[in-house]
Chain A
Amino acid sequence: MKLIKSIIKPFKLEDVKDALSEIGIEGMTVIEAKGFGRQKGHTEIYRGSEYTIDFLPKVVIEVAVPDDIADKVIETIVKAAKTEKIGDGKIFVIPVEQAVRIRTGEQGEVAL
């Protein structure tokens, strides 16, 4: 099992969600987040004074999937979230030791 953690631009969330639904992904966790990478922050000007905004709004999507479809999920997210401009985000893939469905106590891939 893999946990696929994607940090994307907030306005791409709907596109990514729809694309994942189409390939049969039935659940995900979405976290509103802030951060920066090579894109850095930007400045805003109010009443002539400059304010530096270091952390830009981002959305983190977490999906746990069986190993065999992980590559397909990653490919789908990249395709849906890409604008080809700096700040599109990153995907991290993390091995998952165990998964448990709280309602039934089922464990392993059946719990995903």
Chain B
Amino acid sequence: MISRYLLLLASLGLAPILFGQSVDPSVTGSADATVQAATPAVEEVSSLDNGNTAWMLTATALVLFMTLPGLALFYAGLVQSKNVLSVLMHCFAIACLASIVWFAVGYSLALTPGNEDGWIGGQAAFFLQNLSIDSLNGDHPETVWIMFQMTFAIITPGLIVGAFVERIKFSAVLLFSALWLVVVYCPVCYWVWGGGWLAERGVIDFAGGIVVHATAGASALTLAAMLGRRHGFPRSLRPPHNPGMVMTGAAMLWVGWFGFNAGSAAAADTSAGMAMLVTHLSAATASLVWMFVEWRKTGKPGLVGIVTGTIAGLATITPASGSVGPLGAIIIGASAGIICYYACGFVKEKLGIDDSLDVAAVHGVGGILGTLLVSYLGWKGELGGLGINAETWQDQLVVQAQGCLAAIALSVIATYIIVKIVSALTSGIRVSDDDETKGLDQAAHGENGYSLS
């Protein structure tokens, strides 16, 4: 009954006044949707566009494909054969869990109008309570928007899996991922895409350099440092057990990334077309650059190397894919190939942190690099930028840096606290030495990735 009463208030437009919320017209929450359904005049302004809706449905499927099975295979091929199943399990379970968290509180906190400070979204859409089949977000159904954004909320905690493989308790994975989504992902998503304080300052993050990659990277590094190194790190570890599987997963991520970046245009338009082009060019450039750097450094061009370059190029173009032209994309790809390559060595050799599958070096560094580079490369200069929000690229760079620092700060602090809480609940997030030696496939899941008979 209470929810019906709230619905009535919302439909009268009273909810924002009662709850002191400022409604950003660019973000259509469920409250607005109800207004639209009841008022034909508003409905005419933003009526359903079939073409855009068709593309958003497609893009949503592509982004889920990035995690299942793309990211799962990419990560699973990089671990030892005794842990392959556990990594697939982590990615799969997180996908399911994140979906339910997104339904329950995530969407509401991340993307519906919240308090005036711009720190966190509202609570009106908890459990999607006011959603109707007719609710619209701009010119496509709100249902599709919820699903599209849900796939982002799925892959982001999925990325962090790379930091804790081969030694974490499965219960800790579930608890950490659910809490992290609410405490880190939702606020940062709101700051940047939900009309929060960074959006008001004009930050540019087209598809998630800050929201997805910087948060995942910084949290991965924090978690890996707290969890400790795998036995044998760094000198006597086994190499990736199946480079072919790594390549298969990376190729799926590449294809899915077209939905991630071009889908972030939220329309089947010129912006989506350019996003797809620059995404592809950056990925191709970064792959080649990484391959050549490795060839020069180690004497041989490796498959694991070239496909890691692909992912670095994709992560780095992500925030910039709505603002740069083809030339900018090549520069971003080349920077990603070199800087992320050296970042891998820096994290593992210099910092000595066993961020096992290089989440911070590839996603974190890539996402931050792209977020900063977009200031200059997106600027309408000789490099073919499509335009930035600030007057000068220097002003934009300041805003971009603020965005990165804020996201990193929240990620590090919140991850530290979440790990402490989860550790208390699970009496230590790390498995026993015996289980680590035996491998998580058998120890945690009672199954084998491979049985050769």
Contacts and interface: CB of A to CB of B under 8 A. Distances in A.
A46 B300 CA distance: 10
Contacts of B349: 49
The A contact surface, by secondary structure, is: strand
B405 to A, nearest CB: 27
A46 B348 contact: no
Nearest to A47: B344
A51 interface: yes
B297 A51 contact: no
Contacts of A53: 239
A48 B345 contact: yes
Contacts of A45: 294, 298, 300, 302
Interface in A24-50: 44-50
B14 interface: no
A52 interface: yes
B205 interface: no
Interface in B284-340: 294, 297-298, 300, 302, 304-305, 308
The B contact surface, by secondary structure, is: helix
Interface residues of B, number: 22
Contact of A48 (B236, B237, B294): B294
B309 to A, nearest CB: 10
A47 B308 contact: yes
A50 B300 CA distance: 13
A1 B427 CA distance: 61
Contacts of A52: 235-236
Contact of A46 (B235, B305, B342): B305
A99 B370 CA distance: 71
Contacts of B438: none
B231 interface: no
Nearest to B302: A46
B345 A51 contact: no
A50 B239 CA distance: 8
B238 A51 contact: yes
B358 interface: yes
Contacts of A49: 234, 237, 344-345, 348-349
B305 A47 contact: yes
B235 A47 contact: no
Nearest to B340: A47
- Which residue among A44, A47, A50, A53 has the maximum number of chain B CB atoms within 10 Å of its CB? A47
Given A49-B234, A49-B349, 17 more contacts: A45-B298, A45-B302, A46-B240, A46-B302, A47-B308, A47-B341, A47-B344, A48-B294, A48-B297, A48-B342, A48-B345, A48-B348, A49-B344, A51-B238, A51-B239, A52-B235, A52-B236
User: Closest 4 interchain pairs by CB?
Assistant: A51-B239, A48-B345, A45-B298, A47-B344
Interface of A: 44-53
Interface of B: 234-240, 294, 297-298, 300, 302, 304-305, 308, 341-342, 344-345, 348-349, 358
